[in-house]
Structure 1
Amino acid sequence: MRGLGLTEFVWIWNRNQGLATPGLHVRIARWLERQWSGGQGLMLLLAFRNSGKSTLVGLFSAWLLFRDSNLRILVVAADHALAGKMVRNVKRIIERHPCTGTLRPRRADQWAADRFTVRRTAELRDPSMLAKGIGANVTGLRADIVICDDVEVPNTCDTLAKRIDLRQRLRELDFVLVPGGTQLFVGTPHHPFSIYGSEAYAAIGEEGPFLSGFSRLEVPLLDPEGRSNWPERFPTEAITSLRLRAGPARFESQMMLRPRSIIDGRLDADALRRYDGALVYTEANGAARLVLEERRLVSASCWWDPSFGRPDKGDASVIAAVFSDEAGDYWLHAVRYLAHDPAIVDSVDEATQLCRQVVQFLRTFHLPAVVVETNGIGRFLPTLLRRELERAGLRAGVIEHVSVRAKDIRIVDAFDAVLAAGRLHAHRSVFESRFLEELREWRPGGKCRDDGLDAVAGCLLSEPVRLPRVFPDAAGSRPGGWRPASASFRADTDFSV
């Protein structure tokens, strides 16, 4: 009996419950057994909502204890109630499955709602199965198997801070797992930057996917040919109805396992057009020319929304640069989230550090001027910035601006039309920054971060600054007048008025 396979174990359970075993569940059960038998310690099971994946993982847990009663299993979920639900399910399986009745302990105190200990030969401190929420303290726990069941839900990933916190807490589980242990993630993606994603979350400094190295099984509702993976429960008519009720974002994310934001943002981030090119600056015959993606640029806007807070605490200090070309398209070439270095504050104060970063930003991108939002702490920064520009030998304008319109209105006015027209391009570095998250998640009156959005909105709404003509004696001291008609000229005529 101990050699009974997981698929047979599941079939016996379903038969006793008067249920059939769908081919989808056979496929998942075989994959779980194959990975376990092959010694694969890192597993990721992604399956569409209502596919029965958590029930199958519960049967998998009972089967593992049936095979080896000395195993310790820790279940971690988005909250304690969800984790406890799986533990209670496994308890019922052990009580009622024909193969596991002898595992039930004699003492009632070993058969609690969120933890239990089966009959085993080893004397171990930790129970056979234990439920914990992702926010719980796991210090001191030890487990042979850690099951992360739906740890990513809207409540744990709808803001940047929550996504960072979720990753940090999941990394703590490495210290719970015994050497040679197994970790199994089960869930569906709830965000474009999901922990289940196949790409690195560059905005927070990840160099690879969060679950890099995990053996993956992905089971979307529809196969590559568009057929249902569980036709008995989800026929074509039911899928069509579900798609209409759920909406495209939720259907793609929850049923097709393609990470999308299921939070309805106000702005259409998918309309942002990506490019990889660099600025090409040239001078000839006393005139400058700036080209991007083979288009000549004719104007530029730069906006700095200053703050002394750290980027992960409070408002961020953000500077952005937007160029426009002869066709009227906008090119969001750079968004920088500035931060001062606390280690050198004694020698260089926070404001000076930020101003020096702004100077370098202007120099790098050939910007003729910067608008400094002077609400709050920004009042004294223009004078300090002009001093740093002079010290750096860079001639650029510093324009002071007090924002009097509501931020929500500014953002909508700046982005709505240009995104709808498909005329806003963004550099690769912008896509890899936190700006894209802000754009996807922003809603009027919401609590999501919008510092980058506000700075870019300022660029889009501000009037372009005309650049002066390059004179030979000013070479290297200021950006060239790369925009057409940026210089004035005098014409001699032979008529009078």
Structure 2
Amino acid sequence: MENKIRFLAFFVMWAKVQGWKVPLLHVRICQWLDECDDPVRVLMVFRGAAKSTIYAVYKAWQLYRDPTWVSLIWAADGPLATKLTRDTINVLRRHPLCVGMLPTKPGAQMFWVAGAVDARNASMTATGVNQNVTSARARDIDYDDVEVPKNIKTPDARENLRNKIQESTFILVPGGRETYIGTPHTHNSIYPEQVAAGAALLKIPLFESSVRYEETSKDTRYRFDFTPGADGLYVVLGIHRFSRMLVEGADYRVDGNEVVFDRPPGVVMDIYAHCAWPERFTRDDITRRRKKTRTLNYWDSQYMLEAKPINECRLDPAKLKAYDLQPVIESANRQVRMMLGKVQIVSGRGYWDPSLGKAGGDASALSVIYDDNLGNHYWHVCEGLVGEFAEFSDTRNTQIIAGQVLQACDLIQKANVLHVYVETNSIGSFVGKLLMRAIKQRGLHCGVTEITTNTNKNERILGALEAPMKSGVLWSHVDVLDGPLWDQMKDWNPAVKSQPDDYLDSGAGAIEQAPVRINHLVGIPTDNMRKDWRQSTGVFEVTLET
């Protein structure tokens, strides 16, 4: 055993087989895995850094060094656990130093290498955290992505995860070792908990140095207390699809230890330096990843390895930009267009979260969102509908004479939207059909789509609203801000399951749905109204974001 090579050399040989270039980041991980002998270890490296790939090579190296080694791979579920064993099998099969170590057909769930001496416990066994491992024994337990979003959503789920992990007490042989590999998905994560209890830690965020400014609406100078590396500063505004990587010299300048703008940015801003893997995580790649990340909390947890309490991401209505204008339809250059002041509106939609609308109950909230071609959203309507969903005439049972659907028609016609989404969860299962009948009765040109939501409501609201609010692209009409939305948003806590959130939910739903291009007038057409006011005619390719 003493003559066998160290892990870094073993990994470099494998990288040569694979045709990889080995960055300093991977060298650092390899050296830590080889040299750290603590009984409990935590490896936290940012998303996409190939930590699980490296760890699979590490497991092959362990068996190369000692074929009697016995490991249990614990992941969030069985299929996820077998990814590590399959990867290890591939290394053992193809690494120059591992020839003849594998049987002809090793199993992904468990396998023995040549030289193994424990007939009961395989060299590697893959299992999900909820599977039964009562009779297992191992010298190593490797928790590879044992904490994932689906098993930490509630306090009960997090407690269940910890109870399952306690089983390691009875699985590890004396002198055994536990290694946790992953990124935190909750503020109450198992990883910092293990570190606080004395576990050895290797933590490598995407950026070594960082500072965040939430309030940027007044100042033009922002300080950073670190020295930029060879790759310079990374200055990023906003989050999700509204985020933007700024360019030094064009968007800002650096004066000593300050980033200087010509005018206040007005949105959340991160200043980073010292990227852990600049060859792979280029500025373009970081921009793409940031645009795909729905909330700041998720970005911080997966790339900066800092999971914060979810209520730190609560929505602040003061971040909504106010306007006091009504849309106007006008003709210009032989085209018809909708203008909101000097801004041309290119799409819009309504979203109705229906309820009985009774005092003390849930609000039956309908929101209307407009969009311009620069990516700004305009929350133009947010109102509660009241009464019965529909009241019919005594003489003509098919004619609707009152009710929420007619109130919705009034808002649709006034806002001139061409599409309305209606939630069909629970009591709203038949409301869409009633709204279609009312729209037909009124002669409006407006489509209705029934939609069922099955995701966590708080996560949906936060995911839809936080990004545009913190990126400075969500505007609200003064009537919306003067209504019940302000107080509901101010009091809303994403950590609380049951609370008033109907107006938030309707606005979030409207933002989540793909924009529908406005190209007709709502209402009964006349000779003077039958004008196509799209920016141009023809065929359009539209990307729907959900």
State the TM-score, normalized to the length of structure 1: 0.51
Unaligned segments of structure 1, at least 5 residues = 199-208, 272-407, 425-434, 446-497
Q: Tell me: CA distance 1:61–1:211, structure 2 relative to 1, closer, same or farther (3 Å).
A: farther
Tell me the alpha carbon deviations over residues 86-145 of structure 1, each in whole angstroms, 9 at most, x when there is no partner: 101100100000011121136x4xx11211100115244100000000000110100000
Q: 2:93 matched to which residue of 1?
A: 95
The answer on 1:417 being equivalent to 2:487 is: yes
Q: Which residue of 1 aligns with 2:109?
A: 114
Q: CA deviation at 1:192?
A: 1.2
3-state SS of 2:8 partner: helix
- Report the CA distance between 1:262 and its aligned residue: 7.6
Change (3 A) 1:81 1:7: same
2:73/2:81 contact within 8 Å kept: yes
Report if the CA contact (8 A) 2:39-2:176 is conserved.
yes
Answer whether contact 1:267 1:415 (CA < 8 A) is retained. no
Partner of 1:21: 22
Please give the alpha-carbon distance, in whole angstroms, between the structure 2 residues aligned to 1:186 and 1:442.
Answer: 36
| Distance apart, 1:442 and its partner CA | 7.2
1:251 paired residue among 285, 291, 299: 299
Deviations 1:174-213 (A, max 9, x none): 2111110010000001111111125xxxxxxxxxx67611
2:159 equivalent among 157, 164, 184: 164
Is 1:3 aligned to 2:4, yes or no? yes
Counterpart code for 1:18:
G
CA distance, structure 2, for counterparts of residue 144 and residue 442 of structure 1: 48
Whether the 8 Å CA contact 1:267–1:416 is kept in 2: the answer is: no
Q: After superposition, what is the alpha-carbon deviation per residue over 1:285-341, rounded to whole angstroms, capped at 9, x for unaligned?
A: xxxxxxxxxxxxxxxxxxxxxxxxxxxxxxxxxxxxxxxxxxxxxxxxxxxxxxxxx
Q: Deviations over 1:209-242 (max 9, x none)?
A: 6761110010101112522100111023322332
Match of 1:40 in 2: 38
**Separation in structure 2 between the aligned mates of residue 443 and residue 27 of structure 1, nearest angstrom:** 49
Equivalent position amino acid for 1:438 in 2: A
- The 8 Å contact of residues 78 and 150 in structure 1, kept in 2 or not, is answered as yes
Instruction: Trace 1:29-68 onto structure 2 (pairs within 5 A).
Output: 29-35=30-36, 39-68=37-66
Q: What is the Cα deviation at residue 441 of structure 1?
A: 9.8
SS in 2 for 1:70: coil
Q: 2:274 pairs with 227, 233, 239, which one?
A: 227
Superposed, 1:283-302 pairs within 5 Å as: none
Answering whether residue 244 of structure 2 is matched by residue 187 of structure 1, we say: no
Quote how far apart the aligned CAs of 1:22 are: 1.1
Within 2, Cα distance between the matches of 1:223 and 1:148? 25
Matched, 1:241 2:288: yes
CA distance in 2, matches of 1:5, 1:268: 53
Q: 1:262 to 1:152 in 2, by over 3 A?
A: farther
Structure 2 SS opposite 1:231: coil
1:343-400 residue CA offsets vs partner (Å, 9 max, x unmatched): xxxxxxxxxxxxxxxxxxxxxxxxxxxxxxxxxxxxxxxxxxxxxxxxxxxxxxxxxx
Corresponding residue SS for 2:87: helix
For the structure 1 residues 444 and 138, does the alpha-carbon distance in structure 2 shift closer, same or farther, using more than 3 Å as the test? farther
Distance 2:201 2:186 in 1: 18
Distance 1:180 1:437, change over 3 A: farther
Three-state SS of the structure 2 residue aligned to 1:152 is: coil
Classify 1:143/1:442 alpha carbon distance in 2 versus 1 (closer, same or farther; 3 Å): farther
Q: Is the 8 A contact 2:68 2:117 kept in 1?
A: yes
- Matches of 1:177 and 1:268 in 2, distance apart? 48
How has the CA–CA distance of structure 1 residues 443 and 82 changed in structure 2, closer, same or farther, with 3 Å as cutoff? farther
1:66-145 mapped onto 2 (5 Å cutoff): 66-105=64-103, 108=105, 111-120=106-115, 122-145=117-140
Question: What one-letter code is carried by the residue in structure 1 that aligns with 2:203?
Answer: E
Q: Deviations over 1:9-66 (max 9, x none)?
A: 110001011111111110000001011xxx3111000011110000011011000000
Residues 1:67 and 1:83: Cα distance change in structure 2 (over 3 Å): same
C-alpha change, 1:263 and 1:236, in structure 2 (3 Å) is farther
Q: What's the secondary structure of 2:300's corresponding residue?
A: helix
Q: How does 1:375-394 map to 2 (within 5 A)?
A: none
CA contact (8 A) 2:314 2:493 kept: no
Match of residue 199 from structure 2 = 214
CA separation in 1, counterparts of 2:485 and 2:163? Answer: 34
Identity, in percent, stands at: 34
Distance in structure 2 (CA, Å) of the matches to 1:233 and 1:176:
39
Q: Structure 1 counterpart of 2:285, which letter?
A: A
Q: Are the counterparts in 1 of residues 184 and 307 from structure 2 also a CA contact under 8 Å?
A: yes
Aligned length: 277
Query: In structure 2, what residue type is equivalent to 1:140?
Result: S
Structure 1 match to 2:230: none
Counterpart secondary structure, 1:14: helix
Distance 2:34 2:65 in 1: 12
| Residue aligning to 1:342 | none
Q: 1:241 to 1:122 in 2, by over 3 A?
A: closer
Q: Deviations over 1:251-297 (max 9, x none)?
A: 1110000104689987569x9xxxxxxxxxxxxxxxxxxxxxxxxxx
Distance 1:66 1:222 in 2: 34
In structure 2, relative to structure 1, the CA distance for the partners of 1:251 and 1:119 (3 Å cut) is: same
Check 1:440–1:233 CA distance in 2 against 1; reply closer, same or farther (3 A cut).
Answer: farther
Return the alpha-carbon distance in structure 1 between the equivalents of residues 497 and 45 of structure 2: 25
SS at 1:86 equivalent = helix
- Which whole-Å CA distance do the structure 1 matches of 2:291 and 2:137 have between them? 45
Give distance in 1, aligned partners of 2:55 and 2:27. 12
2:159 counterpart SS class: helix
Q: In structure 1, what residue type is equivalent to 2:125?
A: L
Q: Which has the higher helix share?
A: 1
What aligned pairs does 1:467-478 form with structure 2 within 5 A after superposition? none
Which consecutive unaligned segments of at least 5 residues does structure 2 have? 210-225, 227-272, 320-457, 459-482, 503-546
> In the alignment, residue 201 of structure 2 is paired with which amino acid?
R
Q: Which amino acid aligns with 1:253?
A: S
Name 1:399's counterpart in structure 2.
Answer: none
SS in 2 for 1:182: strand
Instruction: Name the CA shift for 1:437/1:217 in 2 (closer, same or farther; >3 Å).
Output: farther
Structure with greater strand share of residues = 2
Query: Following the alignment from structure 1 to structure 2, what is the Cα–Cα distance between the partners of residues 167 and 194?
Result: 10
